[in-house]
Amino acid sequence: DDDTFSNVFCENSRKLINAHLFALAAKYYSLSNLGVCTPLEDVLEALRGDNQATTGIKTDEFMNNKKSHEVQVMSELVDNIANYCGIKQVIDIGSGKGYLSSFLSMQYNLKVYGIDSSNTNTNGAHERNRKLKKHWRAYQSRGRANLKSQRLEKANDRPVESEIKCKAIDEKPLDNDNSLQSQDQVTIQDLVHFTEIAASETSKQTEVDLVAWTQSDESEVSEEDAVEFFSSSQCNCGELCEEEKAQRKMASLKAKASKSSESNLYFPLTSCITAETELSDIITDLEDCMMVGLHTCGDLAPNTLRIFTAKPEIKAVCSVGCCYHLLSEQFENQEDCPEEVWGFPMCQYLKDKGCCCGRNARMSACLALERVAVGQMLPTESLFYRAVLQVIIEEIYGVTKSDRHVGKIFSKSSSFIDYVRKSLKKLELDDSKV
């Protein structure tokens, strides 16, 4: 009930007067408590239908554990949304170093345009994608080995039934023909089952395998490679004549060339994305597609949603925002830019209410409460230093707004006094007043 939490702040000063009630209100209105979010597992299950999940591939050497986890989870979700919508083109907004884009193109064979405003990031994404392609076959082999190991473990979890069958056979009067036949049937059935599983998994990986395989030079195609494109019934047991070898090698090269275009599925581009951006000016072959963004910074997240609603060719959007402290608010600094497109609020209801979060709330939204829950406490001392510095700047210098930033100088300071003096110097304020 809203009346219950009406006494959290003072009506006149709007300052916090009841911390306990504020904590209860924050918990009550949290997303997890309101039940407005759908668990990821439920979303994936609804999107997949009867289709099985694909095998994940870890690229630990190119990303840290956190980034690798984010990319794998996000890419699986994006692939399922793309399949559900029947699209193959993905636009990665704020693609940065191209981690997500590369993974989507190689693991899921999606055609990805990675757009970032930094040319340095775009060039870095090109180089990182080249290196990742070089090692992709090794990652696939490791993934298939892990899958095989998991299936063998599952098979080993079912030994009881086989032991009972074998024991029953041993206890019967010895009949070599029947005994051998029974054992053969069990073995053949097991092999057929395992072969079907292996064939299924192999078919799922075929397109991705070809993407990595097409990187090799034309000179690396051997006669054995060429022969593999023909069925065994077409091959003679004797020696192949030179003409046949040349024909088959040419067929191999043509097949390889046709797949080569499919291997180039990631295109890093440099452009600044705003709410007015025309994607067709950046992407010449724009078709029905979906927009994605992992850590879309500040106003880039709401601008992504605005583009999605304005462009009919964009069939879906999957965006994870970040850097909320950089989000612009319409009712925070109206005098600065009265006619600007704001990051918050977006809906008409909150606009009518004149809703404003404020910088403190946005900064708090950047903190991961889960870290605190598992014992990884926040850097309370540095935050305390910064909070006291803010009071000093406001009360002694009368500064309430500034475009300058203190930065990360806590670790470079020997004491709080040293921290304050370095901060004032950086802000170009007279430190003789303190």
SS (H, E, C) 407-430: CCCHHHCCCHHHHHHHHHHHCCCC
Q: Which of 2-16, 164-178, 418-432 ranks highest by mean pLDDT? A: 418-432
Q: Is it the case that residue 239 has pLDDT exceeding 60?
A: no
Residue 75's contacts (CB-CB under 8 Å, 6 or more residues apart) are 100, 103, 104, 107, 108
What letter represents residue 353's amino acid? K
What confidence tier does 162 reach under pLDDT thresholds 50, 70, 90?
Answer: very low
Weakest mean pLDDT among 19-33, 90-104, 260-274, 361-375: 260-274
C-alpha–C-alpha distance, residues 360 and 15, integer Å: 13
Residue 414 pLDDT more than 70?
Answer: yes
Tell whether omega for the bond before 345 is within 30 degrees of 0, i.e. cis: yes
Nearest Cα to 89, choosing from 104, 75, 107, 99? 104
Q: Do residues 103 and 109 touch, judged by C-beta distance below 8 A?
A: no
Of 21-35, 177-191, 329-343, which range is least confident? 177-191
pLDDT at 31 over 90: no
- What pLDDT shows up at residue 125? 67
Contact 356, 329 (CB under 8 A): yes
Residue pair 369/378 in contact by the 8 Å Cβ criterion: no
Q: Note the CATH number of domain 37-130+265-369.
A: 3.40.50.150
pTM: 0.60
pLDDT at 431 over 60: yes
